[in-house]
Structure 1
């Protein structure tokens, strides 16, 4: 009788196997969470550092936004073309990195127009968003601007400290979904910091997109003359 019961039990097990354990519950897989954030770089291009940064971003599948100084574009034309070809957003940081705030209208507009013209000749017709140097522009001057503008919500002052560990720590302590991070691709320490930041945040479920993509993902329709600080804040 016992043998018969054992045979019945085995047949039952074979016919109705136990379900596979839930992967997440067993710890065999992590739940994928995606937060979007934008890395931005000012004052380039500078061939040595910018090319190394582009190499690192490509390896990591990360996109960024570059605000370029116009007078540096021609001698680095191939680097700028590579930015666009690899899916990064290219923007205008004036011709000679002047503070627009307080300038007369014709001089300010020429700084922007000249850079815009060079970008269009090199990369084609597009809307090249503006980051005013130092993030400074008053209400009077905003009326002159015909494209969206970009500021930032996370600033580790990498230009000031030029210390990779400090920059990484500052960004990681202040970043949140929708942040726009300010860095400069002209310093080796900033390139090192940027790639470490990408590695760390990708491991936490973040995805790096351009500013234009960040706003679109958050349902924001960018407006000319508006300054975007993060995905949910504008000035």
Structure 2
């Protein structure tokens, strides 16, 4: 049984027990992988700005090999021609979200711009994946209280930002994430850079050995007993903004 399947099974227990974001060994399924430590922690990898042929597909290969789930916030204008990658994300258990149509800064944007940018990408995702709630990550993580009222889905920021887009160095990105990683963290990366893909897989390898399970943002919140609300911003599995 894959790690993600075990996590999803654990989510079904939330109606009976409120999970605090970690479970003792006695609470884990009997067939949990042997490499897990006595304490299992949950963490979320998130990727912005894709999809991108040549990096996103390689990332999906690596995550599948490792039984790790992630959340992808897609730029709408990049989706055309990459529909197979978007379908694969959903089919392999990842969460797919909205990063606006053209990566426009929402803070200070007009109501018309915000609605157009978010709706266009939402429509593109619905055409490929069907109706759903596609959570939003505002570009640059920036959106004001006034603009938040226009958003009808939960929003996601992050608690760990290694600035991979700037470093473009696998080892430095891995080091920055490992120094900041902790249970319930939401890690920001970008799947359009080869160095970020390499770093992401290195991060997964190291943290899995330390007992972490990689889950989607939605799963991370549910594991903390949180039902995400429209217009709210979530920075980690147990922190809102």
The structure 1 residue matched to 2:90, chosen from 70, 81, 84, is 84
Which structure shows the bigger proportion of residues in helix conformation?
A: 1
Q: Deviations over 1:64-112 (max 9, x none)?
A: 0000000111210001000000000000000000001111101111000
- Identify if the C-alpha distance between structure 1 residues 139 and 163 changes in structure 2 by more than 3 Å, giving closer, same or farther: same
The structure 2 residue matched to 1:33, chosen from 18, 30, 39, is 39
The structure 2 residue matched to 1:166, chosen from 159, 162, 172, is 172
Question: Aligned residue for 1:136?
Answer: 142
Question: Aligned residue for 1:204?
Answer: 210
The CA deviation at 1:143 is 0.5
Question: Aligned residue for 2:108?
Answer: 102
The structure 1 residue matched to 2:195, chosen from 189, 206, 220, is 189
The CA deviation at 1:118 is 0.7
The CA deviation at 1:212 is 0.2
Please list, as runs of the form range in 1=range in 2, the aligned pairs for 1:144-159 lying within 5 A after superposition: 144-159=150-165
Query: What is the number of equivalent residue pairs in this alignment?
Result: 208
TM-score scaled to structure 2, two decimals?
0.85
- Identify if the C-alpha distance between structure 1 residues 145 and 204 changes in structure 2 by more than 3 Å, giving closer, same or farther: same
Counterparts of 2:72 and 2:36, CA distance in 1: 33
Question: Aligned residue for 1:47?
Answer: 53
Based on CA coordinates, which of the two structures has the bigger radius of gyration?
1
SS at match of 2:135: coil
TM-score scaled to structure 1, two decimals?
0.87
Question: Aligned residue for 2:79?
Answer: 73
Give unmatched runs, 5+ long, in structure 2.
Answer: 1-33
Counterparts of 2:57 and 2:35, CA distance in 1: 35
Q: Deviations over 1:183-226 (max 9, x none)?
A: 00000000000000000000000000000000000001101000
- Identify if the C-alpha distance between structure 1 residues 217 and 138 changes in structure 2 by more than 3 Å, giving closer, same or farther: same
The CA deviation at 1:32 is 3.3
